Chain A
Amino acid sequence: MDDFAPYALQLFSGLSRAMVLFLLSAGLSLIFGVMNILNFAHATLWLVSGYVTFSIFAFLSQQFGASPWLLVPAVAGAVLLMALFGFALERLLIRHTYERELPEQLLLTFALVLILGDMIKLIWGLENRRINLGVQPVEMLGTLVNPYQFVIIGTGVAVAAGLWLFLHRTRLGKIVRAAVYSRNMVSALGIPIPTIYALVFALGVGLAALAGGVFLPLLPMALGVDLDIIVQCFAVVVIGGFGSMLGTFVASIIVGVVYAFSILFWPDGALAMIFLIVIAVLIWRPWGLFGTELRY
């Protein structure tokens, strides 16, 4: 058992990392899959969400007294606010780039990164923001772990299941899936694509907000964190396939677990391992493990 424990713990930590990546990458993948927009500002919206969650949590704590359970309404509030913000952003800015080339889209979304970064500085200042839930470590396999990681893994799995149900069991979800394969056909059927786009963008930003809120008790929100994490998110969506939720989920687990075990066996090459996988996917299956080769 003792021989097995370090590997089990590394797997556990890898799954925890994987679910954070999944929550963050799901929106990015969905937005690109449906709208063909490579949203470089996705992680910055995630960062803003973390700050918004912090502010709501702080406000609620002042009103009702400190309690870790206040994180639930704080995250829910942030998801709602950020989804609305995402909807407005799509209507006001993003929609103008649909017919533009990829570099122009990247420029616009990168401009958003800078603008939102300035906004964070103006509203929340330079100091890092954190939430302390007062969680105590628990014993597992002879060592200590943070029980909040179970919350992260559970949230990731629940969101994956919820997204699957939404995409496969609801009419709107089926339209979204159809738009991934052929936007022209969906439009020809009389379905208002602009509305679908705005809703998808809002959903993507809402997912980023959920990731920001859920991750807040583990990671102090700080300027620049968004750019640190966006690269790994791109790795996830490239491996999984843009637009594929199953692909994003599986790729998140691959990235999280490979990274965790690389730290155990080859710490200097942990990040290199991830990008070796990305390179392999780009060479042999450029549309990703679960992506679709054909797009109209």
Chain B
Amino acid sequence: MSAQERKWEALIDRLELSRRDFVFGGLAAGALTLTPRFVSAQAGAPYKIGVLLPSTGTGANYMAHTIKGLPGAIAELNKRGGLLGKHPVEMVYRDDETKPDVGAREAKSLILNDKVDAIFGTYSSAVALAIQEIIHEYKVLHFSATSNSSKITQENYTPYTYQFCPDSNMQSGAVVVAVGRMAKKNNWKTFVSLGQDYEWGRDTHKGFTGGLAKIAPQIKETRQLWFKLGETDFTSYITAIMAAKPDFMFGAVAGKDAETFMQQAGQMGLFKRVPFPGGLIAVNDLKAQRKTLPRGIIGLARSPFFAHLKEPIMQAYIKRDRAAFGPDGYPDDWAVMYYDALGGLEQGAKKAGSVKTEAIIKALKGATIDTARGKRTFRDCSNQLDVPSYVGEVWDSPDYPFPIYKPDTMILVEGHDVWTPTCAEVEKLKKKRA
């Protein structure tokens, strides 16, 4: 290992230990500013990425791997000389605390004070919608790879935002496909919904109920339960779900709340009485809840590494993260999508032959890029990457120290099969911007 590589390893170790935004931001910004020295003499100016993700709040557990993994991925890119082989990438991290007001403030600070060229983030759709106004005003590139309300690329569309994650309509569409099959098989007639009472939860629920009404209108929703972000005690919600005696339940629950709900619901035996198909169970959930997650439960994932083991980019990424974070260090869905976002930036700059924002957004418009999920194309009208959603049964694999989705139960629903509405309708939805 070279001295430069050792410095990087030390930096990543420190990043893993130092969590508070100012400590984190300081270390990341300060240490990463040294990056150009590692990549020898380069002609181009550094390219600055502002990473706006929560290390506090309900999304913190989902973003942990991404936050600690991105510096290494950027280091890897810088070993190739950075963007276009001559623009070393620097990263400035900020904690948005999963709050729209904090996110907007930090986005503005990243743009005005740190002079970033692009923002990678956010976790929460509410935060994404808030920062998009700033992104558009200052004409800064925005790569979104977790927050996935369809409004981000439709109603709130800005040409500066590119979406690397299946949006809420695509995810709901995938669940509708899976639930439709199961409902037919099990003769389901009623369901109860539980959701986080904010933009993404409402949007996901709307997508699911709308889709289900089209393919199985006989299935009726008998109760909707909404809870505030950061709920700590789901007991009363769980007893209310059981009291309704539905044939199944639908959940729009993510982040820390999902972890809390799954733990408490499992302990109360909810899933023994009420099937819960299509709840968000990402790789980080599979790892964190490896002992408690009920086996056989049907989960929904956005980018599980085990679905694309044959892809060379995925293979290399897994190898790198396991080398960096130990045998358990398989990347979660979120880390994979942000890794793809970084790859998208590199390929966009290469295609444009420039690191200028306007040139990159023009180059990426409708472009096909190589990702850890294979070759994927951006939807022309919304800058939404055509990526699949994954539904499958949680199962103990002999190959991993945590459960994964059982391969023969996994349904991969391609983005273009379920994305809604049509491009003509998307154009009508887009808000008028100055």
We find that the number of chain A residues with CB closer than 8 angstroms to chain B is 50
A241 to chain B, nearest CB (A): 24
- Which residues 230-279 of A sit at the B interface, judged by CB distance below 8 A? 259-260, 263-264, 267-268, 270-271
B258 to chain A, nearest CB (A): 10
B63 to chain A, nearest CB (A): 8
A276 to chain B, nearest CB (A): 16
Q: B17: which A residues are within 8 A, CB to CB?
A: 122, 125
Q: B226: which A residues are within 8 A, CB to CB?
A: 267-268
Complex CA distance for A181 and B57, rounded to whole angstroms: 39
The chain A residue with its CB closest to the CB of B23 is A118
Complex CA distance for A126 and B227, rounded to whole angstroms: 24
Which single member of A118, A132, A271 contacts B19 (CB below 8 Å)? A118
Which of A14, A20, A122, A146 has the most C-beta atoms of chain B within 10 angstroms of its own C-beta?
A146
Q: Count A-B pairs with CB separation below 8 Å.
A: 148
Is A143 in the interface zone, CB < 8 Å from B? yes
Complex CA distance for A123 and B195, rounded to whole angstroms: 32
B13 to chain A, nearest CB (A): 12
Complex CA distance for A270 and B67, rounded to whole angstroms: 35
Whether B256 lies near A128 (C-beta < 8 A) is yes
Whether B235 lies near A224 (C-beta < 8 A) is no
Whether A10 lies near B268 (C-beta < 8 A) is no
Is A173 in the interface zone, CB < 8 Å from B? no
Complex CA distance for A13 and B240, rounded to whole angstroms: 10
Is B233 in the interface zone, CB < 8 Å from A? yes
Is A135 in the interface zone, CB < 8 Å from B? yes
A224 touching B56 in the complex, CB below 8 Å, given contacts A16-B235, A218-B264: yes
Binds A, one of B2-10, B42-50, B269-277, B307-315: B269-277
A171 to chain B, nearest CB (A): 37
Whether B56 lies near A125 (C-beta < 8 A) is no
Which single member of A16, A117, A136, A219 contacts B260 (CB below 8 Å)? A219
Q: B260: which A residues are within 8 A, CB to CB?
A: 219-220
- Which residues 262-309 of B sit at the A interface, judged by CB distance below 8 A? 263-264, 267-270, 272-273, 288, 291-292
B433 to chain A, nearest CB (A): 32
- Which residues 27-56 of B sit at the A interface, judged by CB distance below 8 A? 55-56
Is B259 in the interface zone, CB < 8 Å from A? yes
Whether B264 lies near A143 (C-beta < 8 A) is no
Which single member of B18, B64, B227, B268 contacts A146 (CB below 8 Å)? B268
Which single member of A6, A126, A215, A263 contacts B237 (CB below 8 Å)? A263
Complex CA distance for A164 and B288, rounded to whole angstroms: 40
Whether B57 lies near A219 (C-beta < 8 A) is no
The chain B residue with its CB closest to the CB of A147 is B267
* The 4 nearest A-B residue pairs measured at CB: A121-B19, A137-B269, A144-B269, A228-B230
New A-B pairs, 19, CB < 8 Å, besides A144-B242, A225-B256: A9-B242, A10-B239, A10-B240, A10-B243, A17-B233, A128-B288, A143-B239, A143-B273, A145-B268, A146-B264, A146-B269, A218-B267, A219-B233, A223-B56, A223-B57, A228-B231, A260-B239, A264-B243, A268-B226
